[in-house]
C-alpha cells in the first residue's frame, strides 16, 4: 500500500492494514450459518435417552432461497465447523467495517 494513493488518506490506509491483518488465513474454513445443538430420543428400549439423558448432536442451520436447511455435523468435525462459522462472522464484521470506512471517505469527498 502506497501512502500516496489518490483515494485514501494515510489514516485510512493504516486502518485498512489493521483490518487486513485480522483476516483469517487462506486455509481457514469459512462457513455461513449458525450452529444448533439438537436433542432427541432414539427409541432404543434400554437406552438412557428414555430416562431423560437425551442424545445431543450438532447441526449447521443455513437459509437458502428463503428456506431453512439443517446439516448434521459429525463429532469429529464439530471443532472445524465452529471455527468456520466464527471465521465467517469475523470476515463479515470486517467487511462491514471496511464498507463504513469507504462510505465515510466517499462522503468526505462529496461534501467537501
Domain hosting 33: range is 10-111
Q: Is 63 a member of any domain?
A: yes
- Domain assignment present for residue 33? The answer is yes
4 within domain boundaries? no
In a domain, 1, yes or no: no
Element (H, E) at 72: strand 67-73
| Count of domains for the chain | 1
Residue 5 in any domain: the answer is: no
> Does residue 102 form part of some domain?
yes
Q: Residue 83 domain-assigned?
A: yes
* 3 located within any domain: no
> Worst-scoring range by mean pLDDT, 2-6, 13-17, 25-29, 96-100?
2-6
pLDDT digits (tens, 9 = 90+) for 82-112: 999 998 998 888 888 888 888 887 887 776 6
Amino acid at each position: 500500500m502506497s501512502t500516496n494513493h489518490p483515494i485514501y488518506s494515510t489514516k485510512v490506509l493504516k486502518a485498512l492494514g489493521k483490518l487486513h491483518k485480522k483476516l483469517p488465513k487462506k486455509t481457514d474454513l469459512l462457513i455461513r450459518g449458525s450452529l444448533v445443538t439438537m436433542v432427541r430420543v432414539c427409541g432404543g428400549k434400554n437406552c438412557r435417552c428414555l430416562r431423560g439423558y437425551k442424545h445431543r448432536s450438532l447441526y449447521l442451520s443455513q437459509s437458502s432461497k428463503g428456506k431453512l436447511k439443517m446439516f448434521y455435523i459429525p463429532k469429529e468435525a464439530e471443532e472445524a465447523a465452529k471455527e468456520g462459522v466464527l471465521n465467517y462472522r469475523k470476515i463479515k464484521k470486517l467487511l462491514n467495517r471496511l464498507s463504513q470506512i469507504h462510505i465515510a471517505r466517499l462522503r468526505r469527498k462529496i461534501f467537501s
